[in-house]
Structure 1
Amino acid sequence: MARGARTRRAAAAAALLAAAVTASLVAGCTDDGDDGGRPSASPVQPSPRQPSPRQPGGGPPLLAVKIDNAPAARPQTGVDAADVVYAEQVEGGLSRLMAVYATRLPEAVGPVRSARESDLELLRQFGRPVLAFSGAQSRLLPVIDAAPVDARTPREASGAYFRGTGRPAPHNLYVRPGALLPAPPGAGALTTGFRYGAAPDGGTAVASRTVRYPAARFTFTWSGARDRWLVALDGTPAVTTGGARVAAATVVVQYVTVRASAYRDFRGSNSPYTETVGSGRATVLRDGRAHEVRWERTRAAEGTAFTTGDGTPVNFARGPVWVVYVQAP
């Protein structure tokens, strides 16, 4: 009997050890550590390019990538190639980026991080875009699956992702856009509602503008030599992994409602929801001047219109656009 009891105890201990090892491996492969979402693999071999469904109107889709903006994730890769970069507030007053690619696809983008509920409303303007992200809060995943986006996490497109070296997870996950799209769809896929052309009259000359979140800040400094606004993140110049300064031709500081969502991260912190449908005021920075304007987006399937006080459409400068969503006062 004593020998049988020892055998049963040994078997039970082995089972517990195996369960612990399995749990450890799963935890090591989960999304961000801040979401508790869909597990993500760490592929080492790329797979062939995967076809993506066409837009409802027949054209090819564009690509949106959720990008880490924590200090440990910098410098980021591929942000300078984006046509539009959206900045949003996330848990703890931190920030995260969503980069949109239509006119060119860089070799790699990242570090890739998780999606949020408000991303779905923001992306609705692009028809059915490809969304590259690392995962999401578990209760949000069915909502993403039902949304009009072509969701591509490491689970759906393992060969498109890889882990970089020199950084700890979760700040080392990257995506190869060319493995998700055969070619960039072109400027016609940028159904943002943005207009490009001559600058509006008036405005105020400004050397720089800083936008603050509770635990993050963005600074845009005008460079006449480059005709661009140089980007700084939390007081540090934003550069690419190749050392080039990240810059925007137009910056939009858009005042919106940022409210609590129905979702929380694994720490219990609520995920903010940034409302991008509605109307309000915004500041458009271009050509070294700041223009106070109005924004309006009547429904999620449409882009955003920016107008002056008399209703005249506001033109942006041609080149990359950064849109920073900030809580309306």
Structure 2
Amino acid sequence: MDNEQSLELRRRDAFSPLNQYVLEVKEKIEASAAAVYILHSGTVVNEWYSGTHGFSPGSRAVGADSRFNVASVRKTYLGFAVSLAIYEGRIGGLDDPVSDYMADPDGALLAGTTIRHLLTHTHGLASPQKRIFPPGADWAYNNVGVNLLIRMIGEVFGKPLAQLLNEKVFRPGGFTETGWRKHKTDGLVWLNEAYSSDEGTDINMFVSARELAFWGQLHLSKGMWNEMQLVPRPVWEQTAEIISPEGLGEALPRNGFFWFVQDRPRSLTELGQELPVGSYQSLGSTGCACLVIPEKEAVAVRMYNQTGPNPGGYNYLDDIRTFGNTVYDCLNGIGLQADRSP
């Protein structure tokens, strides 16, 4: 057996606990499809697929090109667009009032609300008509701030979010398995939804496991892709820096541009306590997740197609933390460290 074959066997054994864990959760949440994709220093070290696109007879087997609905992981793509808008001067800064960039703002409701608040779920809006706490005083996860930012991006760039990302990242980077889709095709792990738009305004972003990992890799490499700089480095750098307002409760998560970022273990964050400082992650309601661990120069992706409510005895925070901790343990198990060579 040569060294390359030996390394492959070590990797397979090392990531077996992770793949087994993802399989067990797949059964628990009654998903029909699952995938795991791990990159280290840009190289694939674990690739695993299980199940079919649906439960009906004859459903397509999950494969490398299967595209899952990533649900809220889409927010990291929106966060990137906001970072780009700030870099290009289309948005002045994180602490600019949201109302400055809206064509028809509700001045009273949005008073004191900034771009920072929208990106970090600290805006305090329960709906476009209702506020539940003052801006920056607490943390509450919902899509109100997301939808405001989608509108804002459309206005400051003069084009929809999906078109912007196609022009800036997907097309030049050769990403063909990433995008918003409103019609079912063979490669999509469809959830029997109905969507009216593919412009980036809805929760219908479909991505393959490998291209979601590539998205994480783009953040890790600060935009370097195939020896080409995709969008200037500062745009990528700030997306995973903690920008949450000062004074938040100790248990509350800390966020970058929608990414959950590890500064220390917190009881309400989705990041496992074993993950090192600087790790960041995004999770969607379908179970899809993208985890970036700069200390290990690693990206870990898992995919599911969960559609039903969480089953009894299942806690999604415990699950996603266990996923992250298991990824980290597996990386340590084969001694994978960041490549610090020039």
Q: TM-score range by the shorter chain?
A: under 0.3
TM-score normalized by the length of structure 2: 0.22
Q: TM-score, normalised by structure 1?
A: 0.22
More helix by share: 2
Of structures 1 and 2, the one with the larger relative CO (CA 8 A, separation 6+) is 2
